[in-house]
Amino acid sequence: MSKTIKLPIKPAKTTITLPKKAATSSATNQSTKQSTKPTSTRPVAAKPTSKFVQVAPKLSELHLKADSLSYSLIGAAEAITMVLNGIALPQALAKLFSNSNVEPAHRGAIQDLSYRTMRQVGRVDALISAMTTKAPEPALLYSLLCCALALIVEEDVALHPYAEFTVVDQAVNAAAAHPDIAHAKNMVNALLRRFLRERHDLLATVMKLPTAQWNYPQWWIDACKAAYPKDWQAILTAGNSTPPLTLRVNQRKTSVDAYLAILQENGMPAHAIGPFAIRLEQAVPVAQIPGFMDGLVSVQDAAAQLAAPLLDVQNGMRVLDACAAPGGKTGHLLETADITLTALDSDPKRATKITENLSRLQLNAQLLVGDASKADWWDGKQFDRIVADVPCTASGIVRRHPDIRWLRRKADAAQLATLSSRILDNLWSMLMPGGKLLLVTCSVWPQESEAQAAAFAHRHSATRLPAPGQLLPCAATDSDHDGLFYALFQKN
Ligand SMILES: C[S@@+](CC[C@H](N)C(=O)[O-])C[C@H]1O[C@@H](n2cnc3c(N)ncnc32)[C@H](O)[C@@H]1O
């Protein structure tokens, strides 16, 4: 059954596309006909930690105004360069912000630009390739071109957030301000102006490449087509959309109707999209969400909100949330019934997020750092209910993490499925007879989801209870959610 998520796991560190060819100013002046032959995008293994990452001047040391587009462009280019070196975008941004003391007020613009660029990497990479004869170097130069092109790549100029010539000027200023790429400011100017002159022809040429058309690596497009021959285009399209801000109402403190009224009073249009789910029409920082700090609501995708009701927890039960960080489902389970909950995660840093979330919700759980495929953390008392929100490729949440598709490798799904099957087998022995185990993934790859569930049920003669199965990512106005998989098992 195909329908749609869960929270981010750490993407594997290694696989992004780095340019094989670098730009030269003279190359940018070649005619479109000569140089716009479509070439495939260039997924190659990431280079080891680059010179840039180690020695680049801090953003704060560049002579740029922090509220200028040049500053955001070079900041985003630095983040994208880290992604090219295999670092996940959220970590890259966190590193950039702390290393360069970027003021909170200026982080949003860099973040938006970085995410926008990651959603367009396949296309802008093909455009750079079409306009150059060798890869722009250093990587920061390539990233700056990607960020600038991402702002002007739409054919429909009405969709551009800035005037095109402003983007060109600010990108040139950004290059000029950074000692590593100042030498290439004329090339930046030439390439971007050439794009503006020849946009139509250049786009018509590169859009023949699936990687440029869809903004995914070729292997990903092929895998999606093979798994979903009818739905692959809709799935890829949903993965390129900007996700909404969806809230989960804390039923211990308020109701959907009461909270919608609070939002209305605060001039924040929103509507219900699930039993506890509310979608805000306009995303805002969490600090601006009424009652967020008091635990009235949490941020959680609508599909992820299905876990707690599916697990059917009752007062007094012993419940294990086996891969719990940052605690989205932990919080929801505790909001649902008076249970004794153990929240386990193998990553100590991520586990601290569970504490933060539960303290905001004023709820309690036993927090453990440990490996769900082992039993060294277990007290030997079986659980009535277990959630196994296992580590996966996160292929169902690429709209929230547009870098994942470029960081993942084709073989990751099989490797993660092997780890998850060990976790599931181990957890099954910790479940009471008659108890229920919920398998969750935020993947759309069958080997991590339905094939995993079927093999597990077969190995353990487990009864499969009704569950949504594969929810495909969906970005419609009436139904908006990530791509999650749910299978529910009962121990006989
Ligand atoms: C998809 S996230 C969980 C999201 C969480 N359930 C929520 O709703 O907020 C998967 C989690 O599994 C954890 N993990 C990975 N391998 C693990 C293992 N062997 N044992 C326990 N946790 C693991 C990761 O650190 C990550 O936090």
Q: Is 331 in the pocket of ligand 1 (CB under 6 A)?
A: no
Say which CATH number the domain at 342 has.
Answer: 3.40.50.150
- From the CA of 466, how far away is ligand 1's center (Å)? 24
Both 325 and 277 in one domain: the answer is no
The pLDDT of residue 458 is: 98
Both 144 and 38 in one domain: the answer is yes
Say which CATH number the domain at 95 has.
Answer: 1.10.940.10
Both 452 and 463 in one domain: the answer is yes
- From the CA of 322, how far away is ligand 1's center (Å)? 7
End residue of a domain, out of 215, 233, 260: 215
For 25-41, write each residue's pLDDT tens digit: 333 333 333 333 344 34
pLDDT at 396 over 70: yes
Both 200 and 81 in one domain: the answer is yes
Both 28 and 107 in one domain: the answer is yes
The pLDDT of residue 49 is: 42
Nearest-atom number in ligand 1 for the CA of 372 is 20
Average pLDDT over residues 74-93: 96
Both 155 and 199 in one domain: the answer is yes
End residue of a domain, out of 178, 198, 215: 215
The pLDDT of residue 154 is: 86
Percent of the chain's residues with pLDDT above 90: 81
The pLDDT of residue 35 is: 36
Is the ipTM here above 0.90?
A: yes
pLDDT at 8 over 60: no
Residue list, annotated binding site for S-adenosyl-L-methionine: 323-329, 345, 371, 389
Both 341 and 267 in one domain: the answer is no
End residue of a domain, out of 273, 300, 327: 300
**Residue 137 structural domain:** 18-215
- HEC readout, the chain: CEECCCCCCCCCCCCCECCCEECCHHHHCCCHHHHCCCCCCCECCCCCCCHHHHHCCCHHHCCCCCCCHHHHHHHHHHHHHHHHCCCCHHHHHHHHHHHCCCCHHHHHHHHHHHHHHHHHHHHHHHHHHHHCCEECCCHHHHHHHHHHHHHHCCCCHHHCCCCHHHHHHHHHHHHHHCCCCHHHHHHHHHHHHHHHHHHHHHHHHHCCCHHHHHCCCHHHHHHHHHHCCCCHHHHHHHHCCCCCEEEEECCCCCCHHHHHHHHHHCCCCEEECCCCEEEECCCCCHHHCCCCCCCCEEECCCCHHHHHHHHCCCCCCEEEECCCCCCHHHHHHHHHCCCEEEEEECCHHHHHHHHHHHHHHCCCCEEEECCCCCCCCCCCCCEEEEEEECCCCCHHHCCCCCCHHHHCCCCHHHHHHHHHHHHHHHHHCCEEEEEEEEEEECCCCHHHCHHHHHHHHHHHCCEEEEEEEEECCEECCCCEECCCEEEEEECC
The pLDDT of residue 2 is: 41
Both 266 and 199 in one domain: the answer is no
Q: Is 171 in the pocket of ligand 1 (CB under 6 A)?
A: no
pLDDT at 191 over 70: yes
Q: Is 327 in the pocket of ligand 1 (CB under 6 A)?
A: yes
Task: Give the global pTM.
Answer: 0.86
> How many domains does the chain contain in total?
3
The pLDDT of residue 292 is: 97
Average pLDDT over residues 283-293: 94
Residue list, annotated binding site: 323-329, 345, 371, 389
Both 346 and 476 in one domain: the answer is yes
The pLDDT of residue 53 is: 45
Both 375 and 271 in one domain: the answer is no
Query: Which range, of 183-197, 244-258, 465-479, averages the lowest pLDDT?
Result: 465-479
Higher-pLDDT residue of 476 and 490 is 490
| Residue to probe by mutation, ligand 1, list 298, 342, 346, 484, most atoms within 8 Å of CB | 346
Give the residue numbers annotated as catalytic, written as ranges.
Answer: 442
Both 433 and 289 in one domain: the answer is no
Q: Is 6 in the pocket of ligand 1 (CB under 6 A)?
A: yes
The pLDDT of residue 56 is: 63
Average pLDDT over the chain, rounded to an integer: 89
Q: Whose CA is nearest to atom 12 of ligand 1?
A: 323
